[in-house]
Chain A
Amino acid sequence: MKKILLTSLLWMLVACNESSSHDKLIKLLTTTHSWTATTQMLGEAWAQGTVPDHYAQETLKKSQAEIAKATQDLTPPPLVSELQQTLQEITTNIEQQNKTALASSLHQLSIEQQQLETLAQAEGVHL
């Protein structure tokens, strides 16, 4: 995880040499943070039986689509790709009604979110 964090930080330092690229990066970080937070809350709600299956699946698809849209015209940092992978795992867990695997994926997502916040802070972005 530390390697991914360092690689992402280095990538961002190299990538951020134009203000428009910087704005796109800020948008990517903000969007990714918001939608991963949504996924976190959604996953916990689904595990408690608070939201129906179809809504959970639809919202997860939306999360992935929104993050993918934010990465257009921009090579996403490795951490964002990791997050997208975790989102896909959560989607599979919910489709398979596997609450045990979901708990593990949500824990992983929580760690990645904290790393995202650290990256954003390094960029001067308040999430």
Chain B
Amino acid sequence: MSKILEVALGILTSIGGFLDVGAIATAAEAGSSFKFQLLWVILLGTICVIFLVEMSGRLAAVSKHTLADAVRERFGFNFYILPLLAEVIVDFLVLGAEIGGVCIALQLVTGISFQWWAIPVSFAIWLMLWKGNFSLIENGVSFLGLVTLAFVVATFKLRPSLPAVAQGLLPTIPHQDTTHYLFIAVSILGALISPYLFYFYSSGAVEDKWDKDILGVNRAVAGLGMGFGSIVSMAVLIVAALVLNPKGIQVDSYEQAALMLTQPFGYWGFILFAASLGIACFGACLEITLDTAYIVAQAFGWNWGENLHPQEAARFSFVYTIFVFLAALLMVFGIDPLQLTLFSMALTAVILPITIIPFLVLMNDPKYVGEYKNGWMSNSVVIFTIALAFIIAIFAIPLEIIGG
């Protein structure tokens, strides 16, 4: 019975924690610009992330290593410095975007500019990390994140054409705005396959002292949790496609996206959008900030752990303290939150090979995972998706920048 409860809890927190600023922004932009045509990218990204999250949990449970720790040990510190730097830079930009998401949500509700909210929000994140524990951060905010199910309810209320939605699950390339389409596709993949997700998952598995008995639960949570969570992401795209696209609104700012839920829910739709954006992004802020502290501490062999008192892991605590306040400055200085989100998501796709290839090597190394090595399907899906994301990114990002 307790395993069933564990699976149920894991699935609920995965659903509640699935959306973040990247998923919301990219799905809204995709739906408003290209209707259902980019649904297949969400499906592809989800399949890939299911495999990656399951692998991350399996590695931690069997080897008792976090992903960062295992990469450093297997390949040496001199190699690890490269994925570490790439991840820290991308985490910094993504955290800035997530803080921006929370600030925009507060701006929508209060009318006070998002720039003024950046420092208070970063302080709230810091306080929760300083005073809280891993369970509170992993489960507490994710339960609140179930408010994002409003998008799923909205989808049912708006009654999309099922054949049209189904067609969107098949890959297509439009004849017009192809560069913009590919850029959004890459941004969606970057939003879904965020390295912080599986670095964080493996660190959490070690914090929770997973062992081989948990492998079944891990598989269920990864598959069902991420699978159901992606339905929320698809719902954001579908709502944008049904509400904004017919009116000719292409989402270039969160102010436009905020109108999405007003058609199915009236005034409460506006509030639900702000709540979804704020809570989802706040949860992601906690994860990304912790993740950065995890990977830096694990790289240098420092004490680490959210369940430890800050004094017991001083350098770990120092890293997340400095990091969250520095990332907040991106919003203080008024960088456009939506543009930062889209750019950082696309950049994530560029660094995926650096972070994933060592991961795949570990998952095929019996010294770390013993008899629980990857099968051909795991390897194939991950390699295909990462290669696709990387190739599209190196072409689409420069073209998008040139195109303005």
Partner of A48, one of B253, B256, B266, B404: B266
Q: How many residues of B contact A (CB 8 A)?
A: 22
Query: Are A54 and B111 within 8 A (Cβ)?
Result: yes
Interface residue B262 (Cβ < 8 Å from any Cβ of A): yes
Query: Are B255 and A58 within 8 A (Cβ)?
Result: yes
Complex formed: what's the CA distance from A30 to B247 in Å?
13
Query: Are A66 and B262 within 8 A (Cβ)?
Result: no
Query: Are A38 and B262 within 8 A (Cβ)?
Result: no
Interface residue A74 (Cβ < 8 Å from any Cβ of B): no
Complex formed: what's the CA distance from A51 to B263 in Å?
11
Complex formed: what's the CA distance from A15 to B179 in Å?
25
> Which of the listed residues A38, A54, A59, A126 has the most CB atoms from chain B within 10 Å of its own CB?
A38
Q: How far is the CB of A113 from chain B (nearest CB, A)?
A: 8
Q: How far is the CB of A27 from chain B (nearest CB, A)?
A: 7
Complex formed: what's the CA distance from A98 to B20 in Å?
38
Residue of B nearest to A34 (CB): B250
Complex formed: what's the CA distance from A66 to B255 in Å?
12
Complex formed: what's the CA distance from A45 to B110 in Å?
18
Query: Are A55 and B249 within 8 A (Cβ)?
Result: no
Interface residue A62 (Cβ < 8 Å from any Cβ of B): yes
CB neighbours (8 Å) of A66 from chain B are: 252-253
Given the interface contacts A50-B267, A50-B270, A59-B255, does A45 sit within 8 Å of B262 by beta carbon?
yes
Question: Interface SS of chain A: helix, strand, loop or mixed?
Answer: helix
Complex formed: what's the CA distance from A33 to B252 in Å?
12
User: What mask results when residues 34 to 50 of chain A are scored 1 for a CB within 8 Å of chain B, else 0?
Assistant: 10011011100100111
Residue of A nearest to B258 (CB): A55
Query: Are A126 and B266 within 8 A (Cβ)?
Result: no
Q: How far is the CB of A79 from chain B (nearest CB, A)?
A: 16
Q: How far is the CB of B32 from chain A (nearest CB, A)?
A: 9
Query: Are A51 and B252 within 8 A (Cβ)?
Result: no
CB neighbours (8 Å) of A30 from chain B are: 250
Q: How many residues of A contact B (CB 8 A)?
A: 26
Partner of B255, one of A27, A62, A113: A62
Interface residue A6 (Cβ < 8 Å from any Cβ of B): no
Complex formed: what's the CA distance from A64 to B352 in Å?
38
Query: Are B250 and A58 within 8 A (Cβ)?
Result: no
Interface residue B96 (Cβ < 8 Å from any Cβ of A): no
Partner of B270, one of A33, A37, A52: A52
Partner of B267, one of A41, A51, A127: A51
> Which of the listed residues B248, B252, B255, B256 has the most CB atoms from chain A within 10 Å of its own CB?
B248
Q: How far is the CB of B181 from chain A (nearest CB, A)?
A: 13
User: What mask results when residues 116 to 160 of chain B are scored 1 for a CB within 8 Å of chain A, else 0?
Assistant: 000000000000000000000000000000000000000000000
Complex formed: what's the CA distance from A31 to B256 in Å?
13
CB neighbours (8 Å) of A50 from chain B are: 262, 266-267, 269-270
Given the interface contacts A27-B404, A55-B258, A126-B176, does A37 sit within 8 Å of B267 by beta carbon?
no
Q: How far is the CB of B344 from chain A (nearest CB, A)?
A: 21
Given the interface contacts A45-B259, A55-B108, A62-B255, does A38 sit within 8 Å of B249 by beta carbon?
yes
CB neighbours (8 Å) of A113 from chain B are: 248
Residue of A nearest to B175 (CB): A126
Complex formed: what's the CA distance from A42 to B176 in Å?
28
Partner of A41, one of B111, B176, B252, B259: B259
Given the interface contacts A30-B250, A58-B111, A126-B176, does A38 sit within 8 Å of B256 by beta carbon?
yes
Residue of A nearest to B111 (CB): A54
> Which of the listed residues A30, A33, A52, A66 has the most CB atoms from chain B within 10 Å of its own CB?
A52
Q: How far is the CB of B97 from chain A (nearest CB, A)?
A: 19
CB neighbours (8 Å) of B252 from chain A are: 31, 34, 66
CB neighbours (8 Å) of A55 from chain B are: 108, 111, 255, 258, 270
Partner of B247, one of A41, A52, A59, A126: A41
Q: Can you spell out 7 A-B residue pairs with CB atoms less than 8 angstroms apart?
A: A34-B250, A41-B247, A42-B259, A45-B259, A52-B270, A55-B258, A58-B107
